[in-house]
Amino acid sequence: MATSAFRSTSKLGLSSLKWSNTLFPQSRTFSVQLTETQYAVKDMVQRFNEEHLKQKAGKLDLAGRFPFEQIKKLTNLGLMGATPSEEYGGMNLDYLSLTVAIEELSRGCASTGMILSIHNFLYVNLVNELGTPEQKEQFLRCYTTGGKIGCFALSEPDAGSDVANIKTTAIRDGNHWILNGKKSWVSSGIEGSATVVFATCDSSLRHKGIACFLVPLDAEGVFRGKKEPLMGVRAATACDLTLEEVRIPNSYLVGEVGEGFRIAMSQLDQGRIGIAAHAVGIAQAALDTAMDYAKERVAFGKCLTRLPSVKDRLTEMCIMVETARLLTYRAATQVCTKNSAMAKYVAGRNATAVADHCVQILGGRGLSTDYPAERHYRDARGTQIYGGVTDIQKRLVGHYLLKENNAL
């Protein structure tokens, strides 16, 4: 399909999305059946993959090249502002529609899917749901329709899972705040235009002293580090951000002082849904790769699909993909810490296992960069780490399980 024709049909698709979204509210009882809106999103992204992404994903990965062209097209489709209202350039879609988009995009290119996931769930949604009208004008509108990318700066060299231990400081100076510190693993930090920053206003209060700020990345005193050499999602970027006497107005504070920890935890509940969807997309891509290869490869006089060992692997892969998908969709419709932690835990583990099966089925070709299996394996492994390691997700599920049963 020609690009002009794709844009034409996409615009028609977006019109139907806006119309049909009025029929389906943001929250609903979990069902395995997608709505018309969600199927429309799924179809739109699948067509995008075929025309703009699937054949380029391997080259982007090998070159470690940020997918600027693809992100621009996704902006034109409205997916860089999936959930905000039309007032701020958004599509006013629900979380499950965004989840489906991330899954399908990650199926075509894990790096692009990850960029869309973090931009939407951790930056755009935070500003949209918690920002003041003034903050939305400056830090949201251009991030839904203007092509700007938003970031989320929480982790530090000595504070990953232990968020209460962050060392970045925020000191009040009249109507301004002065920020100092260092943030680690900031996704899209090199290409981004603004970031959410969490800093402590009183370290003695631990998590109760944390505040949340919006910081333009071109502000004086903000220094971006070098691109981290990553094992997977190589077309995406991550870097350190150093803040040295960064002076920002009080109007950039999100919420109140002391609410930062709660804001971070709530946003991570959303972010884990995005990473779970990202993992499901990678797992589905690995299953697709293995199935396509097994149907064509002949060994011992028959297709690999006829061999019991290969058939068993494909069956296990299918079960793991579907299990992760169901948990992820449920988390997107019933957002809470337990659901998002379960989804990310299972989706990350399953994606890694499915990708491992994929490499095994392809044999020697599974190790070659001429085939996508090894890329799926590298991409899948990271989903057990970023957004909250699986060990922490398991502990969260256990905590809320016991809490629900008055067993703490």
> Shortest CA distance to 279 belongs to which of 397, 380, 181, 398?
380
Q: What is the CATH number of the domain that holds 244?
A: 2.40.110.10
What pLDDT, in 10s, does the model give residues 266-295? 999 999 999 999 999 999 999 999 999 999
Q: Between 52 and 32, whose confidence is greater?
A: 52
Residue type, 350: N
Q: What is the pTM for the complete model shown?
A: 0.91
Is the domain of 233 the same as that of 284?
A: no
Question: Among 261, 292, 307, which residue terminates a domain?
Answer: 261
Read off the tokens for 399. Answer: 């905590």
pLDDT at 406: 95
Is the domain of 53 the same as that of 82?
A: yes
Chain centroid to CA 78: how far? Answer: 16
Compute the distance between CA of residue 407 and CA of residue 174 in angstroms, rounded to an integer: 47
Is the domain of 218 the same as that of 198?
A: yes
Please state, in angstroms and as integers, the Cα–Cα distance from residue 41 to each residue in 7, 46, 77, 87, following that order: 14, 9, 10, 20
Is the domain of 163 the same as that of 84?
A: no
Question: Among 205, 240, 261, which residue terminates a domain?
Answer: 261
Is the domain of 279 the same as that of 334?
A: yes
Interstrand relation of 194-200 and 176-187 (parallel, antiparallel or unpaired): unpaired
Read off the tokens for 118. Answer: 């973090």
Task: Indicate the angle between helix axes 260-296 and 308-333, nearest 10 degrees.
Answer: 150
**What's the whole-number mean pLDDT along residues 120-142?**
97
Contact 212, 264 (CB under 8 A): yes
Q: Is the pLDDT of residue 20 over 70?
A: no
**What's the whole-number mean pLDDT along residues 101-118?**
98
Q: What is the CATH number of the domain that holds 330?
A: 1.20.140.10
Is the domain of 396 the same as that of 376?
A: yes
What pLDDT, in 10s, does the model give residues 133-156? 999 999 999 999 999 999 999 999
Is the domain of 225 the same as that of 179?
A: yes
- What is the domain range of residue 134? 3-144
Is the domain of 34 the same as that of 112?
A: yes
Three-point CA angle 272, 277, 282, nearest 5°: 125
What pLDDT, in 10s, does the model give residues 44-90? 999 999 999 999 999 999 999 999 999 999 999 999 999 999 999 99
> Shortest CA distance to 137 belongs to which of 93, 82, 89, 191?
89
Tokens 């971006």, residue located: 224
> Shortest CA distance to 317 belongs to which of 278, 361, 273?
361
pLDDT at 15: 45
Is the domain of 326 the same as that of 376?
A: yes
Which of the four pLDDT bands, split at 50, 70 and 90, describes residue 168?
Answer: very high
Compute the distance between CA of residue 326 and CA of residue 323 in angstroms, rounded to an integer: 5
Backbone angles phi, psi at 214, to 5 degrees: -105, 125
pLDDT at 14: 52
Compute the distance between CA of residue 282 and CA of residue 354 in angstroms, rounded to an integer: 9
Question: Among 144, 176, 194, which residue terminates a domain?
Answer: 144
**What's the whole-number mean pLDDT along residues 390-405?**
96
Q: What is the DSSP string of 137-149?
A: HHHTHHHHTS---
pLDDT at 7: 40
pLDDT at 98: 98
The count of structural domains within the chain is 3
Compute the distance between CA of residue 119 and CA of residue 195 in angstroms, rounded to an integer: 10
Q: How far apart are the first and last CA of the chain?
A: 58
